[in-house]
A and B are shown apart, each in its own frame.
Chain A
Amino acid sequence: MAANKGGKEGKMIRMEPLDVEKCLREASQRLERAKRVQKQMQDQQKVSQEILTLEFSV
């Protein structure tokens, strides 16, 4: 997508040192969130029968 990215493309961002403790502390909550998104995406692909016979005619 040709996006308005709000910054000059290619500018390197300053990276903080890795906070290992924080990463491990937040892991289970974040993993659950990712699983929820994956499930939501799987459900999104299941088409209900009722829409198949809708006639677009206006």
Chain B
Amino acid sequence: MDRDRNLHLKVVDFSPGNLKSAVIDQSLFLASKEKSHLIYFQDYLQELECKKIVIENPYVDGDYLDDYSAYYVKCFKNYERKCKRVHFFSEEFSDDELKGFLINNDTNKLNKDILQQGYLGFTVIRPLPDAIIGRTALKTYPSDGGRRNFPCTREYDVGFLGAELKIRSLAFQEQDTVLAACATTALWSALHKTTDLFGSKLLTPSKITASASRHFLFGNRAFPSHGLNMFQLCQAIKEVGLEPELRNYDKIADFAGFINGYLSYGIPVILGLVLQNPHNSSPLGLHAVTIAGYSLVGNAKMIRNAPIPLVAHAVDKYYVHDDYVGPFSRLTLDNPVKPQKLITGWPCNCGCGQKLHAIPKTIIVPVYHKIRITYEDVVGIVAYFHELFEVVFNYKLTWDIFLSNVNQLKNEFHANNDIESSQKINVLMHNYPRYIWKAKLFIEGNPILELIFDSTDIQRGMFLDDIIFYYNEVKRIVKESIDNNIDKKYLPNAYKLFLRKLFA
């Protein structure tokens, strides 16, 4: 057997020094100061209670290999083709115990279940002078009693010495500014989730940049890549068979509402940000990040300038893949409806300890082509029902408006025994479109009904598909309002007729 093909494994305790020597190859590394990702990884892994690092060398990474063949192989200087992979565990074990695991020794303490239980994920280390953080999948922060949510994650299978470990995460990597700048890596992370959600194509960073630059070059060269514009990002989304929903932040009426509409279903949202100096707010450039999760604080407050009161107004921060900072880095909002300032994870250059600020500029959501009805189309109709129901029920109302699908809807109703049986049977026996928008209405935190919209319909049609009442009492009051012709004063004609047909 060729000895050059032997896999070298090293087990070390988790510590800042060991992490640095596991990640950085001093013979290649050029960065003059401490690498910011390393500091972030150190803090992040500490929070996940990491105890052991396992270094696997060499490791062949498909994404890097694609980038290597597209660019690095043609450099005069020799760049290595193989990477190394660093795994993180929250379980204690020794080198000998790992060797015992290899021969599947029954008396050995370490087995697959223990490894899986303590597995925190991996990072691929690229053999490059600076942009060393390759494909990375790390466990998310703990949920903290439901406060933290990560809808844009998926399961990754990780081959580890004959054990197939699983990790729920969203792939992250650092930009190399050769084949991928921030916009490419943000889209690459997003595509990892959309491929899982919609079965769309998954491109490597070099292929994303190439397809983005195919028709829109604006005089610049495609490689080395220093960034992508909105035209190019939208083009790359179309190349994988999805459609881009692009928005100007200036025109956004409800930031958290719009983002929640897509994020709740697991669709990653790509934010285009203007970075700002925290001392004098001077602009520092345009940067793109991918939203993978969110954090909620208490109940959604009634916010004066919101078009409709939403559950999403309880969001205080997002967890974003920021290629300059790290995976699931915090992006804190000063106001969920129209944030004036976001606090990023970027440390300020002057060393003051503050983080850079950011103002959103653009929002892109890659959606399946059959999702034609937008968040705004739905809110435009919910607004009428909000006014009607608020006065009919005589309560302050809160809505949760989000994309979903028929299976999720039926699974949820099948499992919920609080809903009256007749309503439950109606839902389970009803034929719904595959993709639906749901507007769930809450009174004092309790859901009472849902408006179901057909997301595959046409905008100028009747895309309200159904109203599901959780309780007969709620249905009775709405019926009473129709009997008193109140709906005639509140709803557009088509919706009024829909309601009357529903109660006929």
Q: Which residue of B lies closest to A53 (CB)?
A: B229
Is A3 in contact with B383, judged by CB distance below 8 angstroms?
A: no
**Complex partner residue of A7 from B252, B287, B379, B445, CB under 8 angstroms:** B445
B387 neighbours in A (Cβ, 8 Å): 30-31, 33-34
Count chain A residues whose beta carbon lies closer than 8 angstroms to a beta carbon of B.
47
B477 neighbours in A (Cβ, 8 Å): 15, 18
Our count of residue pairs bridging A and B at CB distance below 8 angstroms stands at 191
Q: With A and B bound together, what is the CA distance between A16 and B233 in angstroms?
A: 52
Return B270 CB to nearest CB of chain A, in Å. Answer: 9
Return B63 CB to nearest CB of chain A, in Å. Answer: 20
**Complex partner residue of B272 from A2, A20, A26, A54, CB under 8 angstroms:** A54
Is B253 in contact with A40, judged by CB distance below 8 angstroms?
A: yes
Q: With A and B bound together, what is the CA distance between A13 and B393 in angstroms?
A: 10
B473 neighbours in A (Cβ, 8 Å): 12, 15
Count chain B residues whose beta carbon lies closer than 8 angstroms to a beta carbon of A.
85
Is A3 in contact with B300, judged by CB distance below 8 angstroms?
A: yes
Is B489 in contact with A27, judged by CB distance below 8 angstroms?
A: yes
Return B228 CB to nearest CB of chain A, in Å. Answer: 6
**Complex partner residue of A3 from B247, B314, B390, CB under 8 angstroms:** B314
**Complex partner residue of A58 from B147, B285, B444, CB under 8 angstroms:** B285
B297 neighbours in A (Cβ, 8 Å): 4
A54 neighbours in B (Cβ, 8 Å): 229-230, 272, 286, 361-362
Is B218 in contact with A58, judged by CB distance below 8 angstroms?
A: no
Is B299 in contact with A56, judged by CB distance below 8 angstroms?
A: no
Is B489 in contact with A24, judged by CB distance below 8 angstroms?
A: yes
Return B421 CB to nearest CB of chain A, in Å. Answer: 13
Q: With A and B bound together, what is the CA distance between A5 and B324 in angstroms?
A: 35
Return B229 CB to nearest CB of chain A, in Å. Answer: 5
> Which of B181, B229, B470 has most A Cβ within 10 Å?
B229
Residues of B within 8 A of A (CB): 146-147, 149, 181-183, 186, 218, 226-231, 233, 246-248, 250-253, 258, 260, 264, 272, 275, 284-288, 296-300, 307-308, 311-312, 314, 324, 361-362, 374, 376-377, 379-381, 383-384, 386-388, 390-395, 400, 402, 416, 418-419, 442-448, 470-471, 473-474, 477, 480-481, 484, 486, 489-490
